[in-house]
């Protein structure tokens, strides 16, 4: 008698519900966030994990669960994308543009537990860039 082998679907492996209604979203990188990323991360595996996390955000319709993303306390709607489920020590800082399906990565910096001042500076840059674009 053959055993019934159960394999997790790709969505389940990434912590996404099996039947999630997905609204198409777009994720853009602010040009200065691209510079942040290029200057700070040269490791190919880390770069790949960052891009994979952005893809998960898109595929989830912007509703990727923790540990893929989390709110940044006291940051007026900014969130951090936790690449590799939080195992990668770099964080894209992003937000959704109100009333749209558009998400923008405003800045890129180190994870807070690794470099708190670097993370705080990335959040400051993200807020400044977002406010300059949105008039906030």
For 9-36, the pLDDT digits (tens) are 555 555 555 655 667 899 999 999 999 9
Task: List the chain domain ranges.
Answer: 22-134
pLDDT at 75: 80
pLDDT at 86: 86
* CATH superfamily entry for domain 22-134: RelE-like (3.30.2310.20)
pLDDT at 12: 56
CB–CB of 122/103 below 8 Å?
no
Q: Give the strand pairing for 69-71 and 26-29.
A: unpaired
pTM summary value: 0.81
CA distance 77 to 18: 27
Supply 111's token pair: 């994870």
Greater confidence (53 vs 7) lies with: 53
Supply 45's token pair: 């595996």
CB–CB of 83/52 below 8 Å?
yes
């Amino acid at each position: 008698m053959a055993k019934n082998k159960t394999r997790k679907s790709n969505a389940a492996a990434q912590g996404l519900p099996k039947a999630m209604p997905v609204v198409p979203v777009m994720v853009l990188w602010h040009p200065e966030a691209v510079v942040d990323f290029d200057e700070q991360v040269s490791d190919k595996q880390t770069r790949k994990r960052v891009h994979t996390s952005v893809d998960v955000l898109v595929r989830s319709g912007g509703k990727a669960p923790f540990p893929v993303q989390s709110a940044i306390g006291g940051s007026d709607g900014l969130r951090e994308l936790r690449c590799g489920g939080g195992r990668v020590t770099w964080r894209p800082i992003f937000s959704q543009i109100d009333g749209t399906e558009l998400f923008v990565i405003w800045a890129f910096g180190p994870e807070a537990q690794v470099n708190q001042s670097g993370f705080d500076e990335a959040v400051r840059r993200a807020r400044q860039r977002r406010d300059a674009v949105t008039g906030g």
